[in-house]
Amino acid sequence: MSAQPDAYTEALDRALLHAQAWLASLPSRPVGPRVDADTLAALSEGPLPASPTSPADVIDELASFAEPGLMAMPSGRFFGWVIGGTLPAALAADWLVTAWDQNAGMRFATPATAVLEETAGGWLLDLLGLPLGADVGFTTGATMANFVGLAAGRQWILEQSGWDLDRNGLAGSPRVRVFVGAERHDVIDLTLRYLGLGAPIVVDVDEEGRLRPDALAELMTAGDGPAIVCLQAGNVHSGASDPMGAAIDVAHRHGAWVHVDGAFGLWAAASPSYRAQLAGVESADSWATDAHKTLNVPYDCGVAIVSRPEVVRKVFGVHTSYLVAADATPGHPGPGDPFEKVPELSRRARGVPVWAALRSLGRDGTIALVDGLAANARALADGLLAMPGVEVLNQVVFTQVCVSFGSDERTRLVTQRLIADGSAWMSGSRWHGRDILRISVSNWSTDATDVALSLAAVARAGAAVEADAGR
């Protein structure tokens, strides 16, 4: 089958129409899906049809099948988990990336996407105030970005203790102690399992979930051997960040590699108003963040940043004859190939939507994006505090708000009512031994109307629970 240029036209036209219908439905559709996965699975039963179907018909069938089962995650009234929407430039750039279909691993083979990703990486380092010589790799998300930083840390710290990891593996190596705060994200433990590093040593945190540097110092002094300290910028419940400067000082005094999980919280560093919360973060050794959360590019896109390019390239570089590697002179690693910075060899050019998002926002727009998310979180917290019987459990320092409606039971009931109401989505969670309703403001499009409608939805849910109780 030879691909005539117009072989794509009809299907792409249909996709554009369906995409526009979806985007147009976001302001008014209920946030939750109308059917569950089991119902959809029952509808989709049956073997793969034997005969072909035209591309345009496939797209029509796909869109109408999916429509009731889609969640309005890109809605300005979606505050669940920590999930961003999509900026227009980023969405459109993502489509181009798909049409270009570049296997973006080699600088020599796909120079356009390689350079766009390098440019986006440089802009990110500048915005976040990180060392300009650091390597930036684009991963599927913060999970893999954390994996990259911790893998680089494992490599470096074992090298420092004279252990050749590449030759000997981990069996018989010195035990690497990994220190984490008690409220790190679960994926840190997951990536430590990928890396064969076992269970971390857990450091006490304060009431906002921030790691205590004095507790870290005590634990580090109690043992010895190679160490990695994994800090957090942005606690998913409180939004607070570990005290970077003090914790990094302690870690570096003990010769440790310091990695920062800043999936959404690292973006505070982009704003003059919030940067002080991360003072000292630039002296860590590696950082992970997401572009698909705060920066609002489409899934999936994380960012792995490593201060020592030679270490990350040692971990992820592949040296086969058929891959043509970018030039590098000793001591000056050069830009490097995209495949040397992330776990994947073949991948889409997922840094290009980052380029487009940043290009469309500019520096001022990026700052305004971060400030706007935090301002909306503050507005939601203030509106909730004005409701009788509502407690805000965290200091609202960034984009996260944790709320209780009194008893655990009442909080759970209000959460259920709110979800059933459908005009806004917030997640039920547990924090510090209490059931909570958690709000994460991560969508660029959330505006004052969304905030007002969402507060009204919470008030309705609260009133409904009240009415049920009085019955």
Note the residues at the interface with ligand PLP (CB under 6 A). 82, 141-143, 185, 187, 234, 236, 261, 263-264, 290, 302
The answer to whether 213 and 244 have CB atoms below 8 angstroms apart is no
CB of 325 to ligand PLP, least distance (A): 28
Amino acid making up residue 347: R
CB of 186 to ligand PLP, least distance (A): 8
CB of 200 to ligand PLP, least distance (A): 14
Nearer to ligand PLP, 30 or 234 (CB): 234
To the nearest 10 degrees (0 to 180), the angle between helices 352-385 and 448-470 is: 40
- Ranked by CB distance to ligand PLP, the top (closest) residue is 141
User: How far is the CA of 171 from the CAs of 148, 163, 166, 175, 197, in angstroms?
Assistant: 21, 11, 11, 10, 11
Nearer to ligand PLP, 269 or 461 (CB): 269
Amino acid making up residue 466: E
CB of 288 to ligand PLP, least distance (A): 7
Residue in the structure block whose two tokens are 């380092």:
125
User: How far is the CA of 398 from the CAs of 288, 336, 340, in angstroms?
Assistant: 18, 35, 34
CB of 8 to ligand PLP, least distance (A): 31
- DSSP at 418: H
Nearer to ligand PLP, 142 or 457 (CB): 142
Amino acid making up residue 49: P
**Given its phi and psi angles, is residue 81 left (phi above 0), alpha (psi -120 to 50 degrees) or beta?**
left
CB of 292 to ligand PLP, least distance (A): 6
User: How far is the CA of 94 from the CAs of 325, 338, 343, in angstroms?
Assistant: 26, 18, 21
Nearer to ligand PLP, 80 or 234 (CB): 234
CB of 261 to ligand PLP, least distance (A): 5
Nearer to ligand PLP, 241 or 411 (CB): 241
CB of 246 to ligand PLP, least distance (A): 20
CB of 188 to ligand PLP, least distance (A): 7
Nearer to ligand PLP, 102 or 400 (CB): 400
Q: What angle do CA 110, 359, 362 make, to 5 degrees?
A: 155
SS3 at position 135 = strand
Nearer to ligand PLP, 250 or 266 (CB): 266
Phi, psi of 403 (to 5 degrees): -125, 140
Distance CA 448, CA 386 (A): 17
Nearer to ligand PLP, 189 or 466 (CB): 189
Nearer to ligand PLP, 187 or 380 (CB): 187
Nearer to ligand PLP, 90 or 158 (CB): 90
User: How far is the CA of 50 from the CAs of 46, 47, 53, 127, 280, in angstroms?
Assistant: 11, 9, 10, 53, 61
Question: In residues, how long is the chain?
Answer: 471
Give the list of residues 6+ apart from residue 112 with CB closer than 8 angstroms, or none.
102
User: Can you list the alpha helix ranges (DSSP code H) found in 9-54?
Assistant: 9-25, 37-43
Amino acid making up residue 380: L
User: Can you list the alpha helix ranges (DSSP code H) found in 161-185?
Assistant: 165-168
SS3 at position 256 = coil
SS3 at position 247 = helix
Nearer to ligand PLP, 110 or 286 (CB): 286
CB of 440 to ligand PLP, least distance (A): 8
CB of 245 to ligand PLP, least distance (A): 20
